[in-house]
Chains A and B, each alone.
Chain A
């Protein structure tokens, strides 16, 4: 090897060593993306609140250090997250010894961020958790938020669509052939002996299927029961809604955390779940409280309070089911999860990479007995 050749080789090697060294230093200086949350020095007050990583801020009394929790909500701040805004505004989180901060992220990112410990808690639907855990992303579903699956197919009542069987040959708008809407659609059509190829699928990746339905470009569309159908009704058009719950009880959105956080921040997470469910109960009793909290957190929502209240009322409905009426808000229906695993494992896209059990997916230990 001549000298000219040796110089670039050595330079490349030096850069490689430098990158690795920087990484080592970076890891040593703080927790990296996959670092397990480690309990920090406990204080008297943190043990009182059951938390393990106090941040040093204190309650109005000055005696309680708060445990910092980062919470990932859906992509856009919305009245659909009213229970979190109310728990924050009413001081329920603070009372539980928590310093909660919210971040808005898209669902797939939320699961990965929670799994790697960058967020303590997130919201994700069960149909995403099943494939994620099958890919060994270490997350657990710890409380149900939407006890009824929120993804639905809806149509104008004037379209004549009343059941899933009526969708045969009709134009149906959906954002894409993946995700929870697609899984719901396959279940719904399957119940009528139909496949997705029996329907004229129109893709609206920019979530324009609602506008397309209103303009008559499609006969039906997928959407969230507490959003697009509500908007359609508010525009004066009666909507028909086709739900999947009675066919396959797919688990709706709920709170998730990582297995590491579940162990390291157990009591803080338990306090968070209890405070959030308390706020949910408050809003069920008085929806106006939820709307006020949402408008205080996201002032833009105050521009059309009637619409926001309609969305909130529809959201409140999805929080509750026959199962939660018996077992309480947040309860996790294991039987529904088992059926969902079976259903999703048989889908042609093969979203479930390996066999998973309900125990790998959910944990009820943070819910009040």
Chain B
């Protein structure tokens, strides 16, 4: 029964992808769009394959991936720590929340050039941009998760005189994990955006640079779409990795 359901879902996923491509092709035909405005899926597919086989993506993808991984790692670590502090200290929340919210409300697009100016156009500025954009959702998810830990369990820990480290590792983190991992899901997709924005603010390699090249120098719209598809695939793959991790650690949700 389960196998049949899986097959059914897979069939739907494939059908949706086919429908998307058909719809795209229909829009190109009906709208009579020229390839430099909206290229047909076939030409984007061919350019995608070419870019992956002629070394174009090889030059740019590792750069963007390393920025995402490092930026997400740093932002997630900081977000979890700050989120825990905010959850456990009302004073800290009152003190820090305005600054954290203000930082989140500031468009990263506006501060990215400044960060590039302060920290250079190398890896560091991109990691900082990714961290900044990742930090907020993970900090909030952690705070909410820690606060939602069963109060009775915490009371029991106190009754058994559990050490703070034991409370943290045995009760609080396991209890907050679903919420924290939910924050990770959001954060990892934002990290992709952060890396691209960082590369737009300056850089020699990376998929954001390739977008600029395709759009502003080569006028190669199919390459632009192929790059966007690559970015989307990276986002989907990272999201799936977090979902897999979540399934391993806390079981299937929903």
Option from B16, B22, B116, B215 in Cβ contact (under 8 Å) with A205: B116
B219 lies within 8 A of A33 (CB):
no
B interface footprint on A202-213 (CB within 8 Å = 1, 0 otherwise): 011110100000
Cβ-defined contact, B213 with A178, below 8 A: yes
B160 beta carbon closer than 8 Å to chain A = no
Of the residues B23, B33, B117, B202, contact of A34 by C-beta under 8 Å: B33
Asked whether, in the complex, the Cβ of A20 is within 8 Å of the Cβ of B26, the reply is yes
Q: Please count the residue pairs between chain A and chain B whose beta carbons lie under 8 angstroms apart in the complex.
A: 103
The answer, among B121, B200, B216, for a CB contact under 8 Å with A179, is B216
Question: Is the Cβ of B37 less than 8 Å from the Cβ of A34?
Answer: yes
Complex Cα–Cα for A211 and B202 (A): 16
A9 to chain B, nearest CB (A): 8
Complex CA distance for A12 and B18, rounded to whole angstroms: 12
Give A10 Cβ to nearest chain B Cβ, in Å. Answer: 12
Known: A19-B23, A131-B217. A176 touches B33 (CB 8 A): no
B21-46 vs A, CB cutoff 8 Å, 1 = contact: the mask equals 01100110011111111000000000
State in angstroms the CA–CA spacing of A340 and B116 once bound together: 33
**How far is A137 from B34 in the complex, measured between Cα atoms in Å?**
9
Stretch from A88-96, A110-118, A358-366 that touches the partner: A110-118
Which B residue sits closest to A1, measured CB to CB? B8
| Chain B CB within 8 A of A5 CB | yes
Complex formed: what's the CA distance from A113 to B33 in Å? 13
A27 touches B31 (CB 8 A): yes
Q: Is the CB of A203 within 8 A of B121?
A: yes
**B34 lies within 8 A of A34 (CB):** yes
Q: Bound state CA distance, A280 and B195, in angstroms? A: 45
Which residue of the partner chain B has the closest CB to A205?
B202
CA distance A292 to B33 in the complex (A): 42
Asked if A302 lies at the interface with its beta carbon under 8 angstroms from chain B, I say no
Distance in angstroms between the alpha carbons of A205 and B122 in the assembled complex: 12
Residue-wise, chain B 98-110 has the 8 Å CB interface mask toward A (1 for contact) of: 0000000000000
Task: Verify B19–A12 contact, CB threshold 8 A.
Answer: yes
A293 at interface, CB cutoff 8 A: no
A107 within 8 A of B: yes
How would residues 35 to 46 of chain A score, 1 for a CB under 8 Å from any chain B CB and 0 otherwise? 100000000000
Q: Which residues of A contact B213 (CB under 8 A)?
A: 178, 349
Chain A: interface size category: 35 or more
Q: Which residue of B lies closest to A175 (CB)?
A: B202
Q: Which residues of B contact A203 (CB under 8 A)?
A: 121, 202-204
A177 vs B218: C-alpha distance when bound (angstroms): 12
* Contacting pair B36 A136 (CB below 8 A): yes
Chain A residue at minimum C-beta to C-beta distance from B201? A205
Whether A205 contacts B32 by the Cβ 8 Å rule is no
Contacts of B215 in A (CB 8 A): 108
Interface size on B, residues (CB 8 A): 36
Bound together, the chains give a CA A138 to CA B32 distance in angstroms of: 15
Query: Contact: A176 with B32, CB < 8 Å?
Result: no
Task: Determine if B27 and A176 form an interchain contact, defined as CB atoms under 8 angstroms apart.
Answer: no
Distance A349 CA – B36 CA, assembled complex (angstroms)? 20
Q: Are B37 and A178 in contact (CB under 8 A)?
A: no
Q: Is B93 an interface residue (CB 8 A)?
A: no
> A131 touching B121 by the CB < 8 A rule?
no
Chain A residue numbers with a CB within 8 Å of B116 are: 205-206
Q: Which residues of B contact A178 (CB under 8 A)?
A: 212-213, 216-217
Q: Known interface pairs A20-B30, A27-B31, A136-B35. Does A108 touch B23 (Cβ–Cβ under 8 Å)?
A: no
Are A33 and B33 in contact, CB atoms less than 8 angstroms apart? yes
Q: Which of A98-147 contact B (CB under 8 A)?
A: 107-108, 111-112, 115-116, 128, 131-132, 134-138
Q: Which residues in window 64-82 of A have CB below 8 A to B?
A: none
A349 to B212, CA, bound (A): 13
- The answer to whether A192 has its CB under 8 Å from any CB of chain B is no
Taken together as a complex, chains A and B put the C-alpha atoms of A134 and B220 apart, in Å, by: 9
Q: Could you tell me the distance in whole angstroms from the C-beta of B14 to the nearest C-beta in chain A?
A: 13
Query: Are A32 and B219 neighbours in the complex by a CB distance under 8 Å?
Result: no
Closest chain B residue to A179 by CB distance? Answer: B217
Q: In whole angstroms, how far apart are the Cα atoms of A221 and B170 in the complex?
A: 59
Given the interface pairs A34-B32, A203-B121, the reply to whether A135 lies near B219 with Cβ below 8 Å is yes
Nearest CB of chain A from residue B206's CB, rounded to whole Å: 12
Cβ B200 vs Cβ A205 within 8 A: yes
Q: How far is the CA of A240 from the CA of B87 in the complex (A)?
A: 60
Residues of A within 8 A of B212 (CB): 176, 178
Q: What does the 1/0 interface line of B212-230 toward A look like (CB < 8 Å)?
A: 1101111111000000000
Residue B113 lies at the interface, judged by CB distance under 8 Å to chain A: yes
Distance A116 CA – B32 CA, assembled complex (angstroms): 11
Distance between B68 CB and nearest chain A CB, rounded to angstroms: 20
Report chain A residues within 8 Å CB of B113. Answer: 205-206
Shortest Cβ gap from A151 to chain B (Å)? 14
Q: Which residues of B contact A (CB under 8 A)?
A: 8, 12, 15-16, 19, 22-23, 26-27, 30-37, 113, 116-117, 121, 200-204, 209, 212-213, 215-221
Top 5 A-B residue pairs of the complex, sorted by shortest distance between their CB atoms: A205-B202, A178-B217, A108-B216, A206-B113, A132-B219
Q: Known contacts A108-B216, A351-B217; can you find 4 more A-B pairs with CB under 8 A? A: A35-B32, A112-B219, A203-B204, A351-B218
23 A-B pairs with CB atoms under 8 Å apart are A23-B27, A23-B30, A23-B31, A32-B32, A33-B37, A34-B31, A35-B32, A107-B216, A108-B217, A112-B36, A112-B37, A115-B36, A116-B36, A116-B37, A131-B219, A135-B218, A176-B202, A177-B204, A179-B216, A203-B202, A205-B121, A205-B201, A206-B117
